[in-house]
Structures are given as C-alpha cells and as structure tokens.
Amino acid sequence: MEFVERYNGSGLLIEVEKILYEFKGVQHIQIFQTKSFGKMLVLDGKIQLTEKDESFYHEMLVHPAMLMHENPEKVLVIGGGDGGAVREVLKHDPKEVVMVEIDENVVKACKEYIGIDRGALEDPRVKVLFEDGLEFVKSCKDKFDVIIVDGTDPNPISQALISSEFYRDCAKICDYFVTQSQSPFAQPDYFKSIYKNARFKNKAVYLGFVPTYPHGLWSYLIASDRREIVLDLNVIKERFENRKIETVYYTPEVHISAFALPRWIVNLIS
C-alpha cells in the first residue's frame, strides 16, 4: 500500500504497511505504520510527522527561540497536538507550559498510537487546553516568555493562525514568537503571506531540512516587538550547554547557520 502527498504537480510517495488509526472529525486524522519512516501522522492528507524525522522539525521550531531567551520560564504552544514541541520545550526546564490545541482527537490518537511526546503532555508543568488558538490569544491576559506556533498547512481550521490579527495579538503577550512558515520552494505563496502578515518590529526567517515535508526544505519565522533577534554563537552555546539539552538535529552552529538565507529566498521577502 502507498500513501502519496501531492503538491503543485509533484509529490512524495511513502510505502505503508498498515493503517493504525483513522477518524474524521474536526480534521481527517490518519496514523500509518510505514516501511521506512516508522509511524506517520497525516491530517487532511498532509504529512505532519514521521518518527524518523520529527525531531528535525520540532528541534528547529523550538530551540532557536528558547535559547535566544535568557530564562524562558513560561511558554505557550499553539497547536502541537502530537506533543513533540512540548517535549522539546521541557528540555529548557520552564516553570509553566500552556498548550492550546483545537482538536482533542489529535492529542488522544498521538498519545495512544505514536507517543513522541514521551510523557511530556502528562508533565505537571504542562496545561493542555482544547480551544481555538486565535480566540485564546485574543482574550489572553497572561504574558509569556516564548510563544511557539506548531500549526498545520493553512486550511479552514488553521488559516486564522497566519492572519495579521493573530500575529498582532501574540506580539502583545510575549518576548519571542516563533512559527513554522511552510516551504518557500513548494509553497511560496503561503510563505510570503506568513512573512507579510507577521508585522513585528523585529523578525527573521530561518531554514531547516525535514525530508518528509514538501521537497525537504522548511522554514520558520522568529519575531518580537520587545526583543532584538540576536545571533551570538557564544551565548547560544553557553545556554545550550548549561541547560544540558540533548538533540538529534539541532546544534548551536546549525542555529546560527540556519539564518543565512539563499538569495532567492531573500528576494521572495524583499
């Protein structure tokens, strides 16, 4: 059996051994056992993660912003129902993590059939809320050191999470904000929309490699209305070592180099 994700006249084919779980609710959730990539989560036909390379994505989403902050004690994760982002956040030993996920079924299915959170969602420092991220941020009175948006490809459920309104509300309540920003190669329109709508005083794009995402090249946007986007290797290395963080993909050197953009991407956002 084969699973194919298609995008713009191309696609990725993955050999599947069996379907472990399927449910249609807020989203169409599928969990597969694949031949080469371990378990795989698919939402509305789009690959969200495979066991083999999910750390490539989650580490690059989480650690740059967390390490730019000198003491990230309170963190908000929007989306991230598989628990991978929260797992990485906890490596920084924060005092409180709030995860806001719109689809409770994603959390339940991932806990039962995949388990990449490795118990993170049961940690007493973690509060999981099942509600709309846009509405949560709009009415939120709390302040966070870091906000991390781990959303799906823009669709009727997640489209609001790339709106200028959402970014404006996030900017009011955090020191650093980071979101995945799609593939600039396979999804340039989405990428440009995210960059344009994120009207923070300071913002920067950085890149990572995730083999099972469209064409492998993935992007992230870090931003702040309160802080500079400072890239100091010595500072990042010191914080990384002091926090005793273990990773598969991320290193402080990868962190710094990820912000060096190819000319064609600079041109997309100029």
Q: Catalytic residues, which ones?
A: 150
Q: Extract the annotated binding site for spermidine.
A: 58, 82
In the sheet that holds 10-24, the strands lie side by side as 2-7, 10-24, 28-34, 39-43, 46-50
DSSP 22: E
Tokens describing residue 12: 């990725």
State how far the Cα of 37 lies from the Cα of 32, in Å rounded to an integer.
Answer: 10
| CB < 8 Å & 24+ apart, contacts of 198-205 | 198/164, 198/167, 198/223, 199/164, 199/167, 199/168, 200/167, 200/171, 200/224, 200/225, 201/225, 202/227, 202/228, 202/229, 203/229, 204/229, 204/259, 205/181, 205/259, 205/261, 205/265, 205/269
Place of tokens 């941020």: 137
Residues in the chain, total: 270
Q: What are the CA-CA distances from residue 52 to residues 37, 64, 218, 221 (Å)?
A: 5, 21, 16, 24
Place of tokens 């991230």: 80
Helix (H, G, I), strand (E, B) or coil at 135: helix
State how far the Cα of 180 lies from the Cα of 183, in Å rounded to an integer.
Answer: 9
* Residue 136 near residue 54 (C-beta atoms within 8 A): no
Q: Extract the annotated binding site for S-methyl-5'-thioadenosine.
A: 27, 101, 132-133
